[in-house]
Amino acid sequence: MATLLGGLATSHIPAIGNALAKGWQQEPYWKPFFDGFPPIHRWLNQVRPEVVVVFYNDHGLNFFLDKMPTFAVGAAAEYHNADEGWGIPTLPPLAGCPDLSWQIIRHLVACEFDVVTCQEMLVDHACTLPLKLFWPEYEVAPVQIVPIDINTVQFPLPTARRVYKLGQAVGEAIQRWDSDKRVLVMATGGLSHQLEGERAGFINKAFDQQFLESMVSNPEWATQFSDLELVERAGTQGVELLMWLAMRAALTRGGAGVRKVHSNYHIPISNTATGVMALECLA
Contacting residues toward ligand DHB, per CB under 6 A:
12-15, 59, 193, 195, 237, 240, 270-272
Which residue number, 70 or 237, has a Cβ lying nearer to ligand DHB? 237
The active-site residue out of 41, 125, 262, 266 is: 125
Compute CA distances 98 → 18, 77, 106, whole Å: 31, 6, 12
Rounded least distance, CB 124 to ligand DHB, Å:
8
Which residue number, 13 or 281, has a Cβ lying nearer to ligand DHB? 13
Name which of 162, 168, 140, 148 is nearest 100 in CA terms: 148
| Calculated CA dihedral for residues 62, 68, 74, 77, nearest 10 degrees | -40
Residue 266 annotated to the active site: no
Give the CB-nearest residue to ligand DHB. 270
Residue 262 annotated to the active site: no
The active-site residue out of 59, 107, 193, 266 is: 193
Which residue number, 51 or 126, has a Cβ lying nearer to ligand DHB? 126
Could you give the CA distance from residue 28 to residue 25 in angstroms, rounded to a whole number?
8
Which residue number, 21 or 110, has a Cβ lying nearer to ligand DHB? 21
Rounded least distance, CB 130 to ligand DHB, Å:
11
Could you give the CA distance from residue 227 to residue 239 in angstroms, rounded to a whole number?
8
Rounded least distance, CB 16 to ligand DHB, Å:
9
Rounded least distance, CB 81 to ligand DHB, Å:
14
Name which of 174, 138, 156 is nearest 246 in CA terms: 174
Q: What is the CB neighbour count within 10 angstroms for residue 185?
A: 30
- Taking 3-state DSSP, the helix, strand and coil percentages for the chain, each rounded to the nearest 5, stand at 35, 25, 40
Please give the positions annotated as active site: 125, 193
